[in-house]
Amino acid sequence: MEIKRAEFITSMASYGAFPGRGLDQIAVVGKSNVGKSSLINRLCNRRGLARTSATPGKTRLINVFLLNDSFHLIDLPGYGYAKVDKQEKARWGGMMQDYFQQAGELRRVLTLVDIRHEPTQDDIQMNSFLRQMGIPFTVIATKADKISRGARQKQLAPICRALLVQPWEVICFSSEDGTGREQVLDTLEKALASEPA
């Protein structure tokens, strides 16, 4: 699949009022700062489409993008951002729960983890939540450009152990140099065609 058109549709604090129901959706989740918005920009080859930031906690709302006039890509707010208070955490939890319960059009979730770090409890919880809900997901190991090619497979071992996935199911990705872009696009294409990845 190639992304020919990409546009920002809306930001919302809750999913309930989203008027764009009906089109298939792919959602992106992961820890704050892991590279969700950067991945969206790289997939679309549009630098400023999703706002990115070196400061964690940039994306606080559910951001919706329309790709190829045919499906929605959803940038979900990151978790595990240390500076948010209890109230903000509760708001985040409610927003995510609402989203996953209501998004009947959700075809697959891309769950992002930093290739350099072991998954956190939040990552583990998110993946087991998706598994329990029966929502298909693909683990993406981001920032692959930060380590050498040879070191990547080794780095995947603890990630796979923690998230209960096989190394060949994980996509190594870099929004800096485009590593893994084609693989992610293939995954999206299959998900939208409802084929197993």
Region from 6-14, 34-42, 118-126, 162-170 binding Mg ion, contact rule CB under 5 A: 34-42
56 binds ligand GTP (CB under 6 A): yes
Give how far Cα 12 sits from Cα of 37, 71, 74, 99, 194, Å.
16, 17, 11, 11, 27
38 binds ligand GTP (CB under 6 A): yes
Instruction: Give residue number: closest CB to ligand GTP.
Output: 78
Region from 2-10, 122-130, 155-163, 174-182 binding ligand GTP, contact rule CB under 6 A: 174-182
175 binds Mg ion (CB under 5 A): no
Which of 47, 146, 149, 161 touches ligand GTP (CB under 6 A)? 146
Q: CB under 5 to 8 A by kind: which of ligand GTP, Mg ion, none does 143 bind?
A: ligand GTP
Q: Are 35 and 142 within 8 A, CB to CB?
A: yes
| Backbone φ and ψ of 160, nearest 5° | -65, -40
How far does CA 24 lie from the centroid of its chain?
Answer: 15
Looking at the Cβ atoms of 3 and 134, the one nearer to ligand GTP is: 3
β-strand 71-75 against 24-30: which pairing, if any?
parallel
52 binds ligand GTP (CB under 6 A): yes
Which of 63, 155, 174, 187 touches ligand GTP (CB under 6 A)? 174
Q: Which residues bind ligand GTP (CB under 6 A)?
A: 30, 32-38, 52-54, 56-59, 77-78, 142-143, 145-146, 174-176
Q: Which residues bind Mg ion (CB under 5 A)?
A: 36-37, 58-59
